[in-house]
Amino acid sequence: MFDATLWNGSMALAAMLGVFWFIGARRRLRRLRAAVAQCYLTLDEALMRYALWMQGCLPSGIRMDFFTQPAPLELPAHEPGAAWVRLQGALTQYMEALACARRAPLMGGDVTAVLVLAHGALAAAWHGAMRERGAQQQPPTEQLQLRHGRLLSQCVPPREAYNEAVKTYNAAIAQFPALLLARLFKFRPAGNLLRLTLEP
190 Cβ contact list (under 8 Å, min separation 6):
33, 36, 106, 107, 108, 166, 169, 170
Give per-residue pLDDT as tens, 93-134. Answer: 999 999 999 988 777 778 899 999 999 999 999 999 988 877
Q: Which of 59, 99, 52 is nearest to 75 (CA)?
A: 59
Cβ-based neighbours of 72, under 8 Å, separated by 6 or more: 53, 147
Q: How high is the pLDDT of residue 23?
A: 66
pLDDT score recorded for residue 96: 95
Rounded Cα distance, 72 and 66, in Å: 18
pLDDT of the residue at 81 = 77
For the stretch 14-68, pLDDT in tens is 555 555 556 667 788 899 999 999 999 999 999 999 999 999 888 877 776 555 4
pLDDT tens, residue by residue, 139-161: 567 888 899 999 999 999 999 99
